[in-house]
């Protein structure tokens, strides 16, 4: 079910890159583990689950966009390892839906969410965020992912 919600601002430890939807696989599992390891090394207080924030994604597999894979933290102390940085993510208004289950079926949640937003007169912004509330790599049906689609 779609609802409007503010995607909250986040102080994060971040990995940032430019990629395509077709090129996401190398970042799955590897970057999150790197962020957790670095947060522990820097003695950072972790304040939320891993998020992926996409800027400029359009659903087409070969469109290049900005991707930030982030771990919310309480403060920015210390010097992150090469390839990581502290990054503040701004809040934004969004259409919100929670996706239960495998990421292979994300389209089943994205489709109705986009349709509902457009039908209600909203325009999509360039930013969206996925919050990985629960990840279960052995039983993906147990995954819980919150989707925030930016709206204008």
Q: Please give the CATH topology (third level) of the domain spanning 3-151.
A: Multidrug-efflux Transporter 1 Regulator Bmrr; Chain A (3.20.80)
> For residue 1, what pLDDT is reported?
60
> For residue 2, what pLDDT is reported?
73
Question: Which pLDDT tens digit goes with each residue over 17-42?
Answer: 999 999 999 999 999 999 999 999 99
Question: Which pLDDT tens digit goes with each residue over 41-96?
Answer: 999 999 999 999 999 999 899 999 999 999 999 999 999 999 999 999 999 999 99
Burial 101-136 (b: 16+ CB within 10 A, else e): beeeeeeebbeebbebbeeeebebeebbbbbbeebe
Domain residue spans in the chain? Answer: 3-151
pLDDT band of 129, cuts 50, 70, 90? very high
Higher-confidence residue of 59 and 14: namely 14
Percent of the chain clearing pLDDT 70 (strictly above):
99
> For residue 57, what pLDDT is reported?
93
Report whether pLDDT(101) > 90: yes
Give the distance, in angstroms, between the CA of residue 149 and the centroid of all CA atoms in the same chain.
10
């Amino acid at each position: 079910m779609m609802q409007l919600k503010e995607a909250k601002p986040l102080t994060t430890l971040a990995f940032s890159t430019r990629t395509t939807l077709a090129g996401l696989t190398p970042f799955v599992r590897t970057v999150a583990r790197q962020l957790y390891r670095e947060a522990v090394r820097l003695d950072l207080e972790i304040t939320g689950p891993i998020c992926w924030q996409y800027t400029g994604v359009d659903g087409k597999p070969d469109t290049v966009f900005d991707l930030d894979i982030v771990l919310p933290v309480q403060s920015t102390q210390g010097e992150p390892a090469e390839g990581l940085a502290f990054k503040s993510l701004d809040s934004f208004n969004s259409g919100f839906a929670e996706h239960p289950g495998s990421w292979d079926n994300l389209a089943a949640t994205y489709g109705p969410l986009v349709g509902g937003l457009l039908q209600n007169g909203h325009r999509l912004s360039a930013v969206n965020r996925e919050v990985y509330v629960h990840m279960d790599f052995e039983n993906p049906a147990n995954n819980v992912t919150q989707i925030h689609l930016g709206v204008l």
